[in-house]
Chains A and B, each alone.
Chain A
């Protein structure tokens, strides 16, 4: 009986058992040994392979460049933007920029489909392959809970006829980079994820615990959006179609998984374009353009008048750098502590 540790075991002991999973979904959907259910990665059976995709893809086992680089990662341009169309603005989390860019990329044929995060039948967030404007629009809005989006990557690649785009949290963007490296190392054909849009993220919440919290507050209507207004509000907002509820942030913070605290990538440093809120400017997004691909797409959006574009105010830039820097240093410290 060989006693070598399997790749799955490394993932279980090193990530899942330590509450370091950020529910990106990359390890799921590849095999029957893992599944993603109600917001968590579930070990269904034990695999004995010493090497496997699951461990290689995991962004917690293989963190991105953020760990080594300082600041906010590569930035070619930075802007403050919002969708021109009022309806898109309203549906989006802040400015509707991501929805606009994805819809444009589809329309131009740059991508044939986009892996986004929608809401499933049971109310839980889930990865979804979107091919039409309407499908993309239906996925607008931050889910704020770990969605395991990348569990839908493999079926999306198989179902799609052309290159894919993806919108993901920083951990998901890192996972996509890991996935590409894995296939490149193996000398196998690379999955065609041509466009990566990353979302700013401080942390996301576990679905089941959030559901319980929401029910405890007496909120039974479906949630359409969450948000955290800028400090010093210390509030967590829950939007349903009928009403907006406010919960103290102090009740939400204890639910944050340790995995999010061990991540120092607030602005998705590995994406083509990173998008987040514009703090203090409701209804607008902060956009960081990181790659040539990203720049071309953004220019097209500007050219077609799909976006209102303004320079990013200096105080926003400073604040972003401070916040991101703080998250990065805390994460590095936690990693030192854990991984010793």
Chain B
């Protein structure tokens, strides 16, 4: 097996070398013996034997070359040589390594996010079979559905292993001395079948526990077990307390399990027979299902559509207008981040590409300087392959060192991302692990090849010594170098245009008139739960009392409750009917449930009519407020005040308020109906308008509630401005990152322009000197180089603009009130690039002309 031997020889080349030496010295020893037998002295014999044999060293190498074609030795020698060559030019090496470290570091960091957020599957067995189930209606779009409908789907659909539902809410944990906030998930039957995880300790829920009046039961998280019970192995005999009731712990979930979110402490059984789960219109339940083995998404969708058609005939009033929606759970969780992440990844890859092109240009210039060295190596008998390999090794060494430094950079960037984008889904999964390192390794190889191949090929093309002195043979035009520069400029124009559009969007967003005043408003929650009071009116009374008491505190001007914060993405559209106007077309509007004081707290003016009154009965108000958009769109020829609006029961429109960007500050105000009910849920969001810094009100609020509701926890204190900020943190981060990429790209491109032109000038300095000596005008020479550089820059800018326009459509969903082809932005970018590049061109062009010709000519 000669090839096997060859391979083995490559690996154990040192042994072979030793063997060859032994074989050769044996030969010499035998020859010496023979010569001595013929009567020569020992020294003479040795001398003659050596002479006859020639250089042992050369023999050894030639013999070894017969053994192995490409040995590890060659590689090591190349690496050694490369390191030495690079250390001789530390400036060059450091520039390249730093460029690569930044380029690959940023690339690795973004990839680690993509990997964690988009590529890796969720931490469940066969996680790709998990789907989110929602319903879509004409008027409200995709929304969560009713628990009873999910029960029906589970019962009737044949393509699912199981379907379940859940809701999460913060509750007051009174197990310890002080009440604390605990995150509770109320889960439907078969929840554990869907997620495919069993409790690490104990059991799941029984059917009886899923019925009202059944035994109380709770599954606790590993974290909670640790925090509250110190991992007590007898925890199954213990209970937790919620407000004033005890729940028997029936099991502990594994540490790795965190669904619907990582911070869930308790899972409690949903009562399948409760009024709120049996109500087909009470749509607040998240549906999640597990597809049966072998079932495709498409099949499941058709199956569920069939089931829903059946339900529509059975319950025409509630079920005929909706369609079930099946989305892979991962897609549902990742949602809008996907586009942003790919945008970041795309731009960071473009940046890396620019860096590679830059390095390739540097290597090319370096190759030109090393013509002499290469020519000498050819003269000494090196093959083109070995010279090219040597040059490639250099770029491989650079790429490798750059990658190692890049991983360190990536670790830093990752940490920064976590701080800057805390709302990113699955953020805790982001880490630099084996997969990411493999990616880095792969990109290192790509980078080494991208950077090194063309220069290695080019530079190894000079086989004679003469060319190293023949100045005339050096082309000063270097079309390849200029092409590389053009690519850099074009790519950086594209990046800059994208970044500029995002910046302008963000700027417009920060100046938008939202219709309310978020400054000096504090938001928080007070724990509570459905079913904690026998009569809901008690809950209504409690919330109203809390609002009134808090409003009396010094430093607090007014308080309100709401179901959702204004200015944050989200919201539910509902279908209404105006009782007095006999119109066929349905009216759709956002429905928000707020306390009447909401408008005062947020400084939303009442434009017409008067403020609704606070309802005192348990079903809420009979009065609503509508915004101006609602009134002007749906009630044209008369005042909307006094009309009755009906979703289920008719409510009187008490007044009209100003338009507010309720469903996101990046969205135009839409017709909105405000349901004046402070207690639409037991755990509404509280808003407090404060005098001065909202954070100063935290302590007074805590102490008031301790006095008022000693068993409840108060938590999630966040100023409203910050909430809105956080909601758009992803936008901001995306913009900041992209701007920094774009500016880096621009500076790299300018370095490329500068370097290439400087080099062109240096090659022609003799010619320039001569021309000046012969009376050429210096301005003419400056102009000549200026034209040379700017011609490349301008055509590259044009190409870059065309590329930006091509990418514009993908970008439009991330922009706010600006077109992706906005001429002002693109024009500005064009001017900026040309201006900056002009400076990069002007410096070497001027330097060419100011040199004293005599000096240059003498130096030659």
A binds B: no
| Interface of A toward B, CB cutoff 8 Å | none
